[in-house]
Amino acid sequence: MAEKPRIKLPTDAKKGEVIEIKTLIAHPMETGLRKDQDGKVIPRKIINKFTCEFNGKPVFMRGYMAPPLKPESRFFVLTRQPLALCPFCQSDAEWPVDIVVIYLKSASPMVSAGEQVVVTGRLEVGSWTDPESGFVSQIRISDASFRRG
């Protein structure tokens, strides 16, 4: 399993352009559903964290802050489209499927939900539970900062 990951990038990209990057990583994997010859469950073994930087520098994403729970916070949810109401505050609201949780370096005042922001930080993929809030994320940007954008 010492293969290098395969990465597919666009042949050209302009500065500031959003691009899609695909990767395939060879790794030992086990679902946690199979049993060994003695009938014991083989423990689950999957990739549970993936961190991305580009040329040693943090990545960035552009989007909108979902309406925050507090006026100043250390984290917020980035959405593709601006939202008028917090979908996480209502049990019957439809959750956006294309969200990214942003964990800031330090607490910061939030901007209005209709303003676009550019977030810079370390991209992480895989299930993680925030020990302070209990919020579970699959995709997040950590050590982040943002600017209006």
| Full-model pTM | 0.63
Q: What is the pLDDT of residues 96-149, one digit of tens each?
A: 667 888 999 988 888 877 788 989 888 887 788 889 888 888 888 889 989 887
More confident residue, 68 or 34: 34
Instruction: Determine the pLDDT at residue 50.
Output: 62
More confident residue, 139 or 4: 139
Mean pLDDT of the chain: 78
SS3 letters across the chain: CCCCCEEECCCCCCCCCCCCCEEECCCCCECCCCECCCCCECCCECCCCEEECECCECEEEEEEECCCCCCEEEEEEEECCCCCCCCCCCCCCCCCCCCEEEEEEEEEECCCCCCEEEEEEEEEEEEEECCCCCCEEEEEEEEEEEEEC
Instruction: Determine the pLDDT at residue 87.
Output: 59
Instruction: Determine the pLDDT at residue 54.
Output: 67
Domains plus CATH for the chain? 48-148 (2.40.50)
